[in-house]
Structure 1
Amino acid sequence: MNQELRVAAYAVCVQGEQILLARWVARDGTKRWTLPGGGMDHGEDPIDTAVREVEEETGYAAEMTALLGVDSIRRHYPRKLGSFADFQGLRIIYEARITGGSLRPETDGSTDLAAWCPLDTVRDLDRVELVDTGLGLWRERPALGRFPADG
């Protein structure tokens, strides 16, 4: 089984009662809302990753203002020729504020739309679990930057 590690950085951008989300398009065409962010390039600082990804996916310039936490996920995915990958995603989640730019969708990327969504409607959106994780970290600010494994 191949072991795969992906380190990524994401931004929780809340203004008033709205959160900035990007709509991720999976390989099978499924679309779900996520936090703006994505994979780190080799040698890139995680804050620079989050800033770059917010601009790529939403059109906005952003400043990371606080480290909210680090989230780790593990999945097993099928690969070619009947093999499987043991995937671990390490997700660094920041609080961010918008400093410039204008809202626009990403072109030729993994997302196709960006939008400000009312916080009280997020639970009704078709979204990845990272949105709930990011909002939970933003609201609760756990001392260790993560929630207990059983809760």
Structure 2
Amino acid sequence: MAHTWLPPAEYIATLPRATAYACLYFTDTQGRPFQLRTTYETGLWHSPGGNMDPGETPWETAVRECREETGLVFEGEPRLLATHFISDRGDHWPANTIGFYFDGGELTDAQIASVVLDPEEHSEYRLLTLAAWEREMTPSAFRRLAEIDGARRTGTTLYVESAGDH
């Protein structure tokens, strides 16, 4: 059977669509995860991060978004903790989403005190134990947080799938 090779633009048009985001996972010196509450979806908590801009790598996105969302300038090296895949959510978000969680390390008390949030994006930040986060987050978001925290603690990297949720 002979193959017909399509020009790159035509071939790419046949592939599944995907957006990408990246974030930094921080804890304080007591190991409590640092999370931001969004203003655009009530009750949603997440690590500092956001969608990639054209021409950015996931690492550049994570560092830029952290600076924009918290005022913290991260100068560490990239260490991937997890890749997160979210399937196409139909009309709500008609594309797959791929996320990258990088290890931001431990925040000092001085760094935490210096956090400045953009009130149009985030209403607050918190540092809570995993048990306390379980009461604050949706089950799927908490499961992902706990898995990412476990990857950080064990030095492993993980792959997480979510079906149509955050």
TM-score normalised by L of structure 2: 0.68
Q: How many residues align?
A: 139
Shift of 1:5: 2.0
1:82 match: none
1:18 match: 32
Unaligned stretches of 5+ in structure 2? 1-15
1:113 match: 124
Matched, 1:92 2:92: no
TM-score normalised by L of structure 1: 0.73
Matches of 1:128 and 1:42, distance apart in 2: 32
Q: 1:138 to 1:22 in 2, by over 3 A?
A: same
SS at match of 2:124: strand
| 1:72-151 alignment, distance < 5 Å | 72-78=85-91, 86-97=94-105, 98=107, 100=111, 102-109=114-121, 111-127=122-138, 129-140=140-151, 145-147=158-160
Q: 1:59 to 1:115 in 2, by over 3 A?
A: farther
2:21 match: 8
Question: Does the CA-based 8 Å contact 2:35-2:47 persist in structure 1?
Answer: yes
Deviations 1:63-111 (A, max 9, x none): 35511121110132326xxxxx5321100111113485712222333x2
Q: 1:130 to 1:10 in 2, by over 3 A?
A: farther
Unaligned stretches of 5+ in structure 1? 80-84
Q: Percent identity?
A: 19
SS at match of 1:146: strand
| 1:51-70 alignment, distance < 5 Å | 51-62=63-74, 63-70=76-83
Counting strand residues as a fraction of each chain, which structure ranks higher?
1
CA radius of gyration, larger in: 2
